Chains A and B, each alone.
Chain A
Amino acid sequence: MEKIFQRCQSLVDVPTHYCPGCGHGIAHRLVAEVVDGLGIREKTIGVAPVGCAVVAYDYWNFDCSEAAHGRALAVATAIKRVHPQNIVFTYQGDGDLAAIGTNETIHAANRGENLSVVFINNAVYGMTGGQLAPTTLLGQKTSTSIEGREKKTHGYPLKISEILALLPGVCYVERVSLDSPAEALKAKRAIRLAFENQINNLGFSLVEILSACPTYWGLSPKESLDWIKNVMQKEFPLGRIK
């Protein structure tokens, strides 16, 4: 019988450590499918963040570097400048990209570094136990905003993608979601476009992915997908920003 579907070559055949219902496994796979689809596995270099996805390099079957918390885009900038022919991307969470690493994010984008960024927004710090993230929604309860995020003391959810879209060095920003198979396919198309932009030397591309964290949202996996669709997307509307 003809084999018409198989595991991506860009994924290692091992179980992931992610919680049930977590979006990281899906996002990893989408990246791997894009890399396979473009035939660039042997020239791709990924930069993994500090956060739940720190060991993404154990799951991807191409060259990877770890980066200190928040510094993925500084590391990626250097790798890409040293090897302009390689395809370099970062995979970062909201705390990494939009809190501790905001400076590196904005300046790499403003320099128009020819990089692709996969930005996982799950509105919470996962690895450290569910603390307030820059993207936590108003009213959302976390272990460091016990009564829910309050604008007076915590400020507002940070829309880093909209901020980055203002910079001339940025060629593409889109917000996608993993709350259904249809949305996941759209996410894959967006990631593919971000990689194609780099291949075509167009500059800085970023795909923000709304992704579930059932464990620290205190919801079941199914409820988490509904929460992305019905609550999170109101604050973070989907679609192409630039």
Chain B
Amino acid sequence: MKILLSGNEAIAQGAIQAGCSFYAGYPITPQNEIIAYMAKHMAISSAGQAARKQLPRVFIQAESELAAINMVYGASAAGARAMTSSSSPGISLMQEGISYIAGAQLPAVIVNIMRGGPGLGNIAPAQSDYFQAVRGGGHGDYRLIVLAPASVQEAYDFTQTAFDLADKYRIPVMILGDGILGQMMEPVQLSSRKIKSPAVKSWALNGCRGRKPNVVKSFFLREGDLEKANLKRQKNYEIIKQQQARFEGLFLADAKMVLVAYGTMARIAKSAISRLRGAGKKVGLIRPISLWPFPQQPFNLKNKQVKYLVLEMSYGQMLEDVRLAVDGRNPVEFLGRSGGGVPSEEQIINQVKKIL
């Protein structure tokens, strides 16, 4: 069945479909539809939960983003599938909590529907939190898996994937979208996925009946202990890098120029590509879907003379990851706008013609 949803609603519905049993959030534009949808639907779903002997579904409007992310920490420690959502300034406030979640090896889903910055910025769409998302964001050596949907359908699908990956690797997973994706409406094919009983989490806190007490923590004061824990974490990241790099490639076989863009920007890039192809220009697309781990493999193209043009709604953040992946083998150009500006099809086409 297909229904019409906004990107924000699709994320919320995807979370419910994935068995999200705890949501805490604080209002901020442009993602308020998520908290409102969760308030409405988490409550309705609770009746059926008891009958299926599942954890209760909990919705809390927190007093701040600090409280929201720490509630997610607590809920996850208690074994729930936990999520929060916010937009750029709110995500900045959550960074300490995300670091603790990573440190305590807790699964969690965090949604960032990006707006313009820095500071209070504005409420227009942007992609300027890329560094914060893919480099960890808070203190300490840690990573999040970061998924970037480019359609409302993907917003719905990736949110479900996010919960599965979070549980599989015991790691926070971020859905990174922007205000356009959050607000636009598209038909969504609902999945027939059954809401699963929560996985047995032997490390979770639920009272130590019949077992030794569990402790959820990120504090390792004794010499050598933290390094050991961090090395284990890094090993997990290496496995994730091998298993979870995701991307979409388009017209890469004959491309003389490859546009690199994610999320909403990739949608605009696709429109530009179809017009350029119509005019005989051999242009392709690499759309990273996982921003961390960043897909390396598509940047080893057969055409050794290929040129790259990175497109972002920022002044060049993913650009650095593309340059690392290309490793000096090919020229990497950039077109970006930020603070509410979005590179248009015409701007992209003009830039491509200039370079090609």
Contacts and interface: CB of A to CB of B under 8 A. Distances in A.
Interface stretch (A65-73, A168-176, A215-223): A65-73
Interface in B65-115: 66-68, 70-75, 77-80, 82, 96-97, 100, 104
A52 B208 CA distance: 25
Interface string A92-112: 000000000001100100000
Contacts of B205: 45, 63-65, 79, 83
Contacts of B72: 78
B274 interface: no
Nearest to A82: B78
Contacts of B36: none
Given A68-B100, A82-B22, A77 B74 contact: yes
A120 interface: no
B259 to A, nearest CB: 41
A76 interface: yes
B60 interface: yes
A78 B22 contact: yes
A74 interface: yes
A15 B82 CA distance: 36
A63 B74 contact: no
A59 to B, nearest CB: 11
Nearest to A64: B215
A151 interface: no
Interface stretch (A36-44, A153-161, A185-193): A36-44
B219 A66 contact: yes
Contacts of B73: 67-68, 71, 74-75, 78
B79 A82 contact: yes
B100 A82 contact: no
Given A71-B70, A78-B22, A66 B75 contact: no
B276 interface: no
B80 A82 contact: yes
Contact of A45 (B75, B207, B217): B207
Contacts, number: 134
A103 B63 contact: yes
A103 B64 contact: yes
A76 to B, nearest CB: 7
Interface string B286-320: 00000000000000000000000000000000000
Contact of A65 (B58, B63, B217, B221): B217
Contacts of A68: 70, 73, 96-97, 100
Contacts of B215: 57, 63-66
A79 B219 contact: no
B294 to A, nearest CB: 29
Contacts of A75: 70-71, 73-74, 77
A77 B71 contact: yes
Contacts of A61: 208, 213
25 contacts: A42-B208, A43-B207, A47-B74, A48-B217, A61-B208, A63-B205, A63-B214, A65-B74, A68-B73, A68-B96, A74-B68, A74-B71, A75-B70, A75-B71, A78-B72, A78-B75, A78-B80, A78-B82, A81-B60, A82-B74, A82-B79, A83-B78, A83-B207, A84-B56, A103-B66
A146 B79 CA distance: 46
Interface in B157-215: 205-210, 213-215
B266 interface: no
A62 interface: yes
B63 A107 contact: yes
Nearest to A74: B70
A213 interface: no
A197 interface: no
Contacts of A64: 205, 213-217
A86 interface: yes
A136 to B, nearest CB: 24
A83 B206 CA distance: 7
A78 B56 CA distance: 12
B24 interface: yes
Given A65-B217, A68-B97, A81-B56, 8 more contacts: A41-B208, A42-B208, A63-B208, A64-B217, A74-B71, A78-B80, A103-B66, A107-B63
A75 B108 CA distance: 14
Contacts of A66: 100, 104, 215-219
